[in-house]
Amino acid sequence: MKLSLLGHDYQYAVEQIMLVLFPEERPEPLTEQTPEQAGSLCRSELTFQSGKACVKTWLYRDGKSSCGLASVPAPDPADKLVYDRVLQRAVKQSFYKAALPLLDKKPDWGALTGIRPAKLASRALEEGLTEEETVHRFQEEYFVSPQRTRLAMEAAKAGLEAKRSLRPEELSLYVGIPFCPTRCAYCSFVSADVQRALKLVEPFLEALDREIDAAAELLPRAGAVIRSVYMGGGTPTTLSASQLDHLLGHIRTAFDLSRLSEFTVEAGRPDTITADKLAVLRKHGVDRISVNPQSMEDEVLRAMGRAHTAADILSAYRLVREADFPAVNMDLIAGLPKDTVEGFQYTLDTVLGLDPENVTVHTLALKKGSRLMLEPQSLPSGEDTARMLDYAWSRLEGAGYRPYYLYRQKYMSGALENIGWCKPGFEGLYNICIMEELHTILALGAGGSTKLTDPSTGKIVRLTNPKYPFEYIQRIDQLCREKEALVPFCQALRSKEV
Ligand code: SF4
């Protein structure tokens, strides 16, 4: 879509709302063309009149045109942060109003573009707004549907509850294991050449040992203690039982885990789960595990590039239950290639029959670099994906689960969301901490980002580890050195508290 801005330069705000409402469009600069030549066009104009800031958006798409107007009391330019926030919101509101007549369906998340809707709600509550006022803001300023507003409010409350349980010196540890047995069609993370990558497992683990030692030496100096550990990837259980034994043993001896309240390992792929690996995880205190079917239909699993069947998922789940993990999560994806509403309903009913403590329902996001982007297959429509999510919503609520964290991603089918559901008392602390950005996340291994978080200002400094094992191994010395930033950062936070 060609973009033309007049009277403001909030291009990013226009692009964000455009991508949410018209995910197939990409922003392009305006050239000298008529609307018919441009194909699709947006003109966004800001003017000030009689103490009001007015934004008018004119959209032209598929031969149809439409106009939207938003008007707000003109903000004080002396407070740049508030000034920009108010005007950007008006820019998005007017775009949204212009877009409505061009859309098949009113978007559930209205004009909200951020990936963390619950954080917006919890911030409003913390700033002193009542629940009613926060709900009003969601529905009247962002045009969010009542159902999605309720979802954001529930997740916000779970976030605030988690926040109250945290102490200032606590942080979470993430360990990224970038290996999988095969590559899923929607994955942009794991290297296309899985077999070549697997040859790097041993040198990767040696490098990770060094990073663990370096981080363990920093934490006492930083005055920080670990509250939760999350091992993700990739699929950590791609490692052998003895490799897992060594790695988890090293984590347990290197760090002070006396304040640990949660230790999660993703065992996403059932084809990597064995009784001896599960015994190793339990021996080292892992108390949450994720077994991720994504679908319980063999045809859909095949289309995803998974080398296992739905029956394998049931066997793996039985092994996990026999190993006595206190909490099991199962991930599902709505909108997968070859899936149907009925198929998804079958998947959800089957998973609910297994009675896991957590169910995370994702919406398929088409990521750059994934095989699905390169070889598009028959995907369910955004409308069908929305029906899948509606079904999940009513079945999970009916079965006593509640939504406790959520996030949205770019290029999601139907511009929807990912929701973590849990039985009461089984909220995953790490998931809340990372989505609500409640405290520092120290990330080791491949693919993670350390987020040095100042909860009082919301400021975050990111230190990114490479995504692929080869780069990680090559840069290990530098990565260990970069983590030194944790010490002055935590010390500065401590001195603010005094
Ligand atoms: S299990 Fe996850 S990380 Fe591994 S290939 Fe599939 S989507 Fe990618």
* pLDDT (tens digit per residue) in 291-322: 999 999 999 999 888 888 999 999 999 999 99
Q: Is the C-alpha dihedral spanning 308, 310, 313, 315 positive or negative?
A: negative
What CATH number does the domain containing 204 carry? 3.80.30.20
Q: Is 124 exposed, middle or buried (0-12, 13-18, 19+ CB in 10 A)?
A: buried
Domain end (from 103, 126, 156): 103
Q: Are residues 183 and 86 in the same domain?
A: no
pLDDT of residue 413: 59
Q: Are residues 57 and 203 in the same domain?
A: no
pLDDT of residue 428: 97
CA–centroid distance, residue 299 to ligand 1 (Å): 18
Mean pLDDT by 10 residues, the chain (498 residues): 94 93 85 70 95 96 94 94 94 97 91 92 95 96 95 96 96 96 78 75 97 97 97 94 98 97 95 96 98 95 89 96 97 94 98 98 77 67 90 96 91 77 97 95 96 92 95 97 96 82
Q: Are residues 202 and 69 in the same domain?
A: no
In angstroms, rounded to a whole number, what is the distance separating the alpha carbons of residues 43 and 36? Answer: 14
- State which residues form the domain around 3: 1-103
Contacts of 497 (CB under 8 A, 6+ apart): 168
In angstroms, rounded to a whole number, what is the distance separating the alpha carbons of residues 179 and 142? Answer: 40
Q: Which amino acid is at 9?
A: D
* pLDDT (tens digit per residue) in 180-227: 988 887 787 766 567 778 889 999 999 999 999 999 999 999 999 999
Residue to mutate, 182, 184, 364, ligand 1, most ligand atoms under 8 Å from C-beta: 184
pLDDT of residue 29: 81
Supply the pTM of this predicted model: 0.90
Asked whether residue 98 is domain-assigned, the answer is: yes
CA–centroid distance, residue 373 to ligand 1 (Å): 15
Q: Are residues 235 and 320 in the same domain?
A: yes
Asked whether residue 153 is domain-assigned, the answer is: no
- Within 6 Å (CB) of ligand 1, which residues are found? 180, 183-184, 187, 189-190, 233-235, 268-269
Q: Are residues 386 and 271 in the same domain?
A: yes
Asked whether residue 243 is domain-assigned, the answer is: yes
pLDDT of residue 182: 84
What CATH number does the domain containing 54 carry? 3.30.160
CA–centroid distance, residue 429 to ligand 1 (Å): 23
Give, using CA atoms, the residue closest to atom 6 of ligand 1: 184
In angstroms, rounded to a whole number, what is the distance separating the alpha carbons of residues 51 and 72? Answer: 9
Asked whether residue 125 is domain-assigned, the answer is: no
Asked whether residue 149 is domain-assigned, the answer is: no
Asked whether residue 158 is domain-assigned, the answer is: no
Q: Are residues 50 and 196 in the same domain?
A: no
Give, using CA atoms, the residue closest to atom 2 of ligand 1: 234
Give, using CA atoms, the residue closest to atom 3 of ligand 1: 234
Asked whether residue 497 is domain-assigned, the answer is: no
Q: Are residues 194 and 48 in the same domain?
A: no
Domain end (from 78, 103, 128): 103
Q: Are residues 36 and 173 in the same domain?
A: no
Q: Look up residue 64 and give its two tokens.
A: 């149809």
Structurally, the chain folds into a number of domains equal to: 2
Residue to mutate, 179, 180, 198, 364, ligand 1, most ligand atoms under 8 Å from C-beta: 180
pLDDT of residue 193: 65
Domain end (from 103, 120, 144): 103
Asked whether residue 111 is domain-assigned, the answer is: no
* HEC profile of the chain: CEEEEECCCCHHHHHHHHHHHCCCCCCEECCCCCHHHHCEEEEEEEEEECCEEEEEEEEEECCEEEEEEEEEECCCCCCHHHHHHHHHHHHHHHHHHHHHHHCCCCCCCCCCCCCCHHHHHHHHHHCCCCHHHHHHHHHHHCCCCHHHHHHHHHHHHHHHHHHHHCCCCEEEEEEEECCCCCCCCCCCCCCCCHHHHHCCHHHHHHHHHHHHHHHHHHHHHHCCEEEEEEEEECCHHHCCHHHHHHHHHHHHHHCCCCCCCEEEEECCCHHHCCHHHHHHHHHCCCCEEECCCECCCHHHHHHHCCCCCHHHHHHHHHHHHHCCCCEEEEEEEECCCCCCHHHHHHHHHHHHHHCCCEEEEEECECCCCCHHHHCCCCCCCHHHHHHHHHHHHHHHHHCCCEEEEEECCCCEHHHCCEEEEECCCCCCHHHHHHHHCCCCEEEEECCCEEEEEECCCCEEEEEECCCCHHHHHHCHHHHHHHHHHHHHHHHHHHHHHC
In angstroms, rounded to a whole number, what is the distance separating the alpha carbons of residues 14 and 95? Answer: 7
Residue to mutate, 177, 182, 235, 302, ligand 1, most ligand atoms under 8 Å from C-beta: 235
Q: Are residues 384 and 487 in the same domain?
A: yes
pLDDT of residue 367: 65
> Which ligand 1 atom sits nearest the alpha carbon of residue 233?
3
CA–centroid distance, residue 233 to ligand 1 (Å): 8
pLDDT of residue 373: 61
Q: Are residues 387 and 283 in the same domain?
A: yes
CA–centroid distance, residue 413 to ligand 1 (Å): 19
Q: Are residues 80 and 171 in the same domain?
A: no
pLDDT of residue 473: 96
Q: Are residues 72 and 185 in the same domain?
A: no
